Amino acid sequence: MTSEASLAARPEEAGPGAGRPLVVCVDDEPEILAALSRLLRAEPYEFRTTADPEEALDWVRTGAVSVLVADYRMPLMSGATLLQLAKAASPRTARMMLTGYPGESLVVAAGEAGLMHLVGKPWDDDSLKRKIRGLLAGREEEAPPWQDLGGEGG
């Protein structure tokens, strides 16, 4: 089930957000997705939400997702499992986990998922924005997957 923040069924059909990095957030709580949508709607990237980890993985597999943000505890699939699958499908997709349940087991799971940031709930708005922008900026040093780098002399 995709929220209203989602612009299309597939990232390559994004329309208005085409050409901008894509940040996807997966959480089973609609109020969390709504809060993130309000917070991040004016950011310089396309932002999508879904409660379905499989839908997020489909988007990741296209290579169009720049940053994947996942909740740690979800009924359909844990955030750690989702991020591990995302890493395998698209190693260049940056990964971040949100959690209201910090602890040692989470730190171990985060390490196994190749996590780049772990953010507690509730989060600090400015800090979360900085972390996402930082992940995007770090990726710009490489050839971003949302750009076509074909042609000569790139």
Residue 73 sits at φ, ψ, to 5 deg, of -105, 110
Q: Is the pLDDT of residue 38 over 90?
A: yes
User: Does any domain span residue 154?
Assistant: no
Residue 15 backbone class (left: φ over 0; alpha: ψ -120 to 50; beta: rest): left
Which token pair is 24? 């996807």
* Omega prior to 16 cis, within 30 of 0: no
Which token pair is 136? 């995007």
**Lowest-pLDDT range, 6-20, 24-38, 67-81?**
6-20
Closest CA to 116 of 152, 140, 92, 144: 92
User: Does any domain span residue 37?
Assistant: yes
User: Does any domain span residue 40?
Assistant: yes
User: Does any domain span residue 78?
Assistant: yes
The whole-angstrom separation of Cα 55 and Cα 27 is: 12
User: Does any domain span residue 50?
Assistant: yes
> What would the mean pLDDT of 33-49 be, rounded to a whole number?
96
User: Does any domain span residue 89?
Assistant: yes
Per the structure, the complete domain to which residue 69 belongs is given by: 19-101+108-132
User: Does any domain span residue 51?
Assistant: yes
pLDDT band of 140, cuts 50, 70, 90:
very low
Q: Is the pLDDT of residue 47 over 80?
A: yes
pLDDT at site 117: 77
Mean pLDDT computed over every residue of the chain = 78
pLDDT band of 139, cuts 50, 70, 90:
low
pLDDT tens digits, 5-25: 433 344 444 444 558 999 999
User: How many domains is the chain built from?
Assistant: 1
pLDDT band of 138, cuts 50, 70, 90:
confident
pLDDT at site 106: 59
> What would the mean pLDDT of 123-133 be, rounded to a whole number?
93
Residue 12 sits at φ, ψ, to 5 deg, of -70, -5
Q: What is the pTM of this model?
A: 0.76
Which token pair is 94? 């940056």
CATH number at residue 81: 3.40.50.2300
The whole-angstrom separation of Cα 8 and Cα 45 is: 15
What does each C-alpha distance from 95 to 56, 99, 139 come to in angstroms? Answer: 12, 13, 12
pLDDT at site 150: 29
User: Does any domain span residue 152?
Assistant: no
